[in-house]
Structure 1
Amino acid sequence: MHDPRTRRRDEQAEAASWPDLADNPFRADRDRIVVSPFFARLGGVTQVVSAAGSGLLHNRLTHSLKVAQVARAISDRLLAAPDGAELIGKLGGLEPDVAEAAALAHDLGHPPFGHLGEQVLDRIARHRFGLADGFEGNAQTFRILTTTDVRGPSAVGLDLTAAVRAAVLKYPWARLHRPDPHPATMPNPPRGAAEPPGAPGTGSAKFSAYSTELDDVVQAREPYAGVIEPWQQTVEASVMDTADDIAYAIHDIQDFHRIGVLQHAPVATELGQWLANALELAGLDDATLAAQTRRPGRSLELLRRRMHVRDAWVVDDDAFADAVSRVRTELVDGLLARGFDGSIEAEQAIAAFSARWTSRLVGGVVVLESPTTRSGHVTLRTAQWHEVQVLKFVHRTFVLLRPELALHQRGQASLVTTLVDALDAWLGDRDEESRLPRRLHDLVELAHAEFTDLAANAPELLVGATGEQVTGADAIRSLARGRAVIDFVSSLTDRQAVSLLDALSGRSSQPWSDSFVL
Structure 2
Amino acid sequence: MTERTTRAHAEFESSQHAALNVDGGSLDANDVEASGSAADEFRIDLERIRFSSYFARLSDVTQVVPQSGVGPVMHNRLTHSLKVSAVARVIAANLAGAEARHRAFVRGEAREDDATGAIVAKLGGCDTVIAQSAAHAHDLGHPPFGHLGERVLDRVAREKLGLPEGFEGNAQSFRILVQLDTLGRDFPGLNLTAATRAATLKYPWTRAKWIGVSADDIPVSERPRGVGLDPATGAEKFSVYALDKASMDQALAAFPGIGEGRQTVECAVMDLADDIAYAVHDLDDFARAGVLQQAAVAAEFRTWLAGSREFADEATPSLEMRRRNPGASLELLWRRLHMKDDWIADRDAFIVAVQRVSDDLGESLLATPYDGGIDSERAMSGFTRRWIEHLRTSIVVEERPHIRSGHVRLDRQAWHEVMVLKFVHAHFVLERPELALPQRGMAKVITDLALGFDDWLSDPEDAPRAPRRIIEWAEEVTEESFRARGEHPELLLGDTSDAALRRQGRSRAILDYVSSLSDQQAIATHQTFIGA
Same fold (TM over 0.5): yes
Q: Corresponding residue for 2:105?
A: none
Q: Relative to 1, partners in 2 of residues 1:391 and 1:73: Cα closer, same or farther, differing over 3 Å? A: same
Q: How many angstroms apart in 2 are the aligned matches of 1:181 and 1:104?
A: 33
Which of these residues, 173, 176, 182, is aligned with residue 208 of structure 2?
176
Q: CA deviation at 1:17?
A: 9.2
Judge conservation of contact 2:194–2:251 (CA < 8 Å) in 1: yes
Gaps of 5+ in 1: 508-518
Q: How many angstroms apart in 1 are the aligned matches of 2:218 and 2:10?
A: 31
Q: Corresponding residue for 2:170?
A: 138
Query: In structure 2, what residue type is equivalent to 1:29?
Result: D
- The superposition leaves residues 311-345 of structure 1 with CA deviations (integer Å, 9 ceiling, x where unpaired) of 11111122111111111111111111111112122
**Structure 1 segment 207-286 matched on structure 2, within 5 A:** 207-225=238-256, 227-286=257-316
Q: How many angstroms apart in 1 are the aligned matches of 2:254 and 2:525?
A: 43
Q: Corresponding residue for 1:440?
A: 470
Q: CA deviation at 1:152?
A: 6.8
SS at match of 2:403: coil
Judge conservation of contact 1:33–1:104 (CA < 8 Å) in 2: yes
Which of these residues, 9, 15, 18, is aligned with residue 6 of structure 1?
9
Is 1:492 aligned to residue 513 of structure 2?
A: no
Q: How many angstroms apart in 2 are the aligned matches of 1:357 and 1:17?
A: 38
Is 1:419 aligned to residue 449 of structure 2?
A: yes
Q: CA deviation at 1:506?
A: 1.3
Which of these residues, 419, 425, 441, is aligned with residue 395 of structure 1?
425
SS at match of 1:430: coil
RMSD: 2.3
Which of these residues, 311, 322, 345, is aligned with residue 315 of structure 1?
345
Q: How many angstroms apart in 1 are the aligned matches of 2:393 and 2:526?
A: 46
Q: Corresponding residue for 1:25?
A: 41
Gaps of 5+ in 2: 99-113
**Structure 1 segment 146-225 matched on structure 2, within 5 A:** 146-151=178-183, 153-177=185-209, 186-187=218-219, 188-196=222-230, 200-225=231-256
Q: Corresponding residue for 1:480?
A: 505
Judge conservation of contact 2:212–2:234 (CA < 8 Å) in 1: no
Q: CA deviation at 1:65?
A: 0.2
Q: How many angstroms apart in 2 are the aligned matches of 1:205 and 1:181?
A: 12
Which of these residues, 320, 327, 345, is aligned with residue 375 of structure 2?
345
Judge conservation of contact 2:357–2:420 (CA < 8 Å) in 1: yes
Q: Which moved more, 1:237-246 or 1:341-350?
A: 341-350
Q: Relative to 1, partners in 2 of residues 1:214 and 1:393: Cα closer, same or farther, differing over 3 Å? A: same
Q: CA deviation at 1:424?
A: 1.3
Q: Corresponding residue for 2:51?
A: 35
Judge conservation of contact 1:175–1:210 (CA < 8 Å) in 2: yes
Judge conservation of contact 1:183–1:193 (CA < 8 Å) in 2: no
Q: Corresponding residue for 2:106?
A: none
Q: Relative to 1, partners in 2 of residues 1:10 and 1:152: Cα closer, same or farther, differing over 3 Å? A: farther
Q: Corresponding residue for 1:470?
A: 496
Judge conservation of contact 2:154–2:166 (CA < 8 Å) in 1: yes
Judge conservation of contact 1:43–1:61 (CA < 8 Å) in 2: yes
Query: In structure 2, what residue type is equivalent to 1:285?
Result: A
Q: Corresponding residue for 1:511?
A: none
Query: In structure 2, what residue type is equivalent to 1:61?
Result: L
Q: How many angstroms apart in 1 are the aligned matches of 2:216 and 2:520?
A: 37
SS at match of 1:193: coil
Q: CA deviation at 1:192?
A: 1.0
Judge conservation of contact 2:211–2:235 (CA < 8 Å) in 1: no
Q: CA deviation at 1:195?
A: 3.3
Judge conservation of contact 1:92–1:224 (CA < 8 Å) in 2: yes
Q: Corresponding residue for 1:120?
A: 152
Identity %: 48
- The superposition leaves residues 403-443 of structure 1 with CA deviations (integer Å, 9 ceiling, x where unpaired) of 11122211111111111121112212233233221222221
Q: CA deviation at 1:113?
A: 0.4
Query: In structure 1, what residue type is equivalent to 2:252?
Result: R
Judge conservation of contact 1:184–1:193 (CA < 8 Å) in 2: no
Which of these residues, 56, 75, 84, is aligned with residue 58 of structure 1?
75
Q: Corresponding residue for 1:105?
A: 137
Query: In structure 1, what residue type is equivalent to 2:513?
Result: F
Q: CA deviation at 1:294?
A: 2.2
Judge conservation of contact 2:215–2:229 (CA < 8 Å) in 1: no
